[in-house]
Amino acid sequence: MRLDPIFKPEAVAVVGASRTEGKLGYTVLRNIKEGFKGRIYPVNPKADEILGLKCYSSIEEIPDRIDLAVILVPHSSVIDAIRSCAKKGARGFVVISGGFREAGREDLEKELVNEVRKAGGRLIGPNCQGINNPHMGLCASWPFIGKPGPIAIISQSGTIGAYMEMNCEFLGISKFVALGNKADVDEIDLLEYLADDQDTKVVSLYIEGTKNGRRFMDAVEKCSRRKPVVILKGGITEAGRESIKSHTGTLAGRDEVYDAAFRKAGAIRASNLEEFLDFTIALSFYGPRKIEEVVVITSSGGCGILASDAIETRGMRLMRLDGKVEKLREEMPDFVVLRNPLDLTGSAYAELYDKAMEIIGDADAYLLIFGDPIPGAFDVVRKHKEKNIFVSYLGGGDVEKEEVEKFRNAGFPVFPTPERAVNAMYAVRSYWRMLNKG
């Protein structure tokens, strides 16, 4: 694969490495050094050594072949750097430096792409927040995110990408790519690459527009058949589209067109940043699941009602407990309200959730709502891990934060409100339905 030199290099040059803490040339080198097991060549004419690594005064001095060049020098020096790195064998280029199309220098950007093509290489950027592949320990980006896992994030916005990385790290990241100006590699190339990537189980994509709508939708469709593609699209309004023009210069089409196309292509579309995160987390953890009937077990009657509303609104149903009520009546304390949602009331304790699931048994999905500080919640969920359990843990106090932390450390998602848990469930169900529609 022609993107392998970018994501799976054996040797990396950091052109524009810096000794000054706070500068990107320092941060990126430090983040690569943190996890990367291959060879690292910092290039800086003024330094002999940075962060304990021998530093080279020019690319020419690098004594061995390189695969990937991460470039942070001023825009006027980028093309020379590409040329020199290509001579050293580099076929992967990540240009973090700005000063190209976004600054009115289309000419320089064209020249840059030509140089990369001449070398037979591929380019991420320019004007981007870099890439990350935790499976290789290669964080050529910021902040440092080290935990490998199933989630690939492609983002036209560095900040949105970093936000996703940080909040998904507890499940682990397979790839992160900040698209920047996408002068060469774009979302289409990446969807094609990630569709085949064994480490990636879900692709999460923030875009503002695409140059080739038809090819993009084909790529989404092909990738979606193998793994869920969650999309957040910026510029759904006229105001948003106006803002896009100055952000990445992309011309974004009308939203209705995108919406129909996304649906046809099988993408799971998020309508805001929070949903983007929730959908990504849910699809990564649960994968596709057939969910028509849900069992809700709650310590809060009110939250059970909010969950019931959300379940029906999202096209699912509460499972009938008819055959189980007798047994529940025998085994549960008197204060439990014997229906679905099963209301354990404020007197709830962890063992009651356990017992209820033992009795009720199989269900398409469980929603467990911990509305009060309930110690042991995590142990119960872990015990029933073969069941399809979604968890909402209402927070605010220290006990709750501590218990939620236990879930998070074990890589188990917790949603802060019943409605967000049901929304996550809906994404999981939508992907199953997409796969099984014909």
Residue numbers at the binding site for a second copy (CB under 8 A): 98, 129, 143, 155-160, 162-163, 165-167, 206, 208, 234-240, 242-244, 246-248, 272-274, 299-306, 308-313, 317-318, 335, 337, 339, 341, 343, 346, 371-372, 394-397, 416-420
Query: Which of 178, 182, 240 is CA-nearest to residue 204?
Result: 178
Handedness of CA 200, 206, 207, 213 (dihedral sign): positive
Q: Which CB, 185 or 374, lies closer to a second copy?
A: 374
Q: Could you identify the residue written with the tokens 């809700």?
A: 296
* Cβ 19 to a second copy shortest distance, Å: 20
Q: Which is nearer to a second copy, 345 or 354 (CB)?
A: 345
Number of CB atoms found within 10 A of residue 135's CB: 19
Closer of 220 and 294 to a second copy (Cβ): 294
DSSP 415: B
Q: Which amino acid is at 159?
A: T
Asked if the bond preceding 341 is cis, omega within 30° of 0, the reply is yes
Short-list 316, 362, 352, CA closest to 331: 352
Nearer to a second copy, 187 or 419 (CB): 419
CA neighbor of 339 nearest in space, from 329, 353, 352, 354? 329
Minimum CB separation of residue 364 from a second copy in Å reads 15
Minimum separation from the CB atom of position 73 to a second copy (A): 16
Q: Which is nearer to a second copy, 86 or 414 (CB)?
A: 414
Q: Which is nearer to a second copy, 253 or 416 (CB)?
A: 416
Least separation, in Å, of the C-beta of 143 and a second copy? 6
Q: Which of 136, 137, 140, 184 is nearest to 158 (CA)?
A: 140
Output the six-digit token pair for 263. 């649906």
Question: Smallest distance from the beta carbon of 242 to a second copy, in angstroms?
Answer: 7
- Residue 129, both tokens: 């927040």
> Which C-beta is closer to a second copy: that of 328 or that of 337?
337
Q: Are 66 and 38 in contact (CB under 8 A)?
A: no
If you ran DSSP here, which 8-state letter would residue 346 be given? Answer: T
Closest distance to a second copy from the beta carbon of 95 (Å) = 15
CA distance 349 to 204: 37
Q: Cα separation of 299 and 18, whole Å?
A: 54
Could you tell me the smallest distance in angstroms from the CB atom of residue 420 to a second copy? Answer: 7
CB of 64: closest distance to a second copy in angstroms? 33
Closer of 133 and 300 to a second copy (Cβ):
300
Q: Are 403 and 370 in contact (CB under 8 A)?
A: yes
3-state secondary structure of 342: strand
